[in-house]
Amino acid sequence: MDPTPTELKKLTEENAILIGWSDGQQRRYTFAELRKSCPCVTCRNERKAAQAEPMKLTVLSPVELQPVKVERMSLAGNYAYRITFNDGHNTGLFTFELLRKLGTVVDGPS
């Protein structure tokens, strides 16, 4: 059976989230990494377009210029989290499988 989250902690000063997993592993995820890795169709298409035209410059809105923050994180069924970011984006479902591939392993208790 794949590991599932057992603990979720917002590390506000570090702009990160810590997830403890059922196998004992803890992983740290920065807000920016999570936003950049959003798995929704819109974000995936934007990443593909950026790869196709790497020299194209995008004009950012004032909201996009703000530091990324996680406003809310809620379970979506028993397989994913829905994350709401301070730019209002919340359509990506971060599956537990995806979250295990992201972030960095934390050694010892945090």
Amino acid occupying residue 17: I
State pTM to two decimals.
Answer: 0.82
110 located within any domain: no
Nearest residue to 6 via CA among 28, 29, 22: 22
- Please tell me the predicted confidence (pLDDT) of residue 24: 96
Token pair 């829905």 is found at: 82
Residues 52, 57, 61, 65, CA torsion sign: positive
How many domains does the chain divide into?
A: 1
Q: β-pairing, 80-85 with 93-95?
A: antiparallel
Q: Are 88 and 63 in contact (CB under 8 A)?
A: yes
* CATH number of the domain where residue 44 is located: 3.30.2020.30
3-29 confidence digits (pLDDT tens): 999 999 999 999 999 999 999 999 999
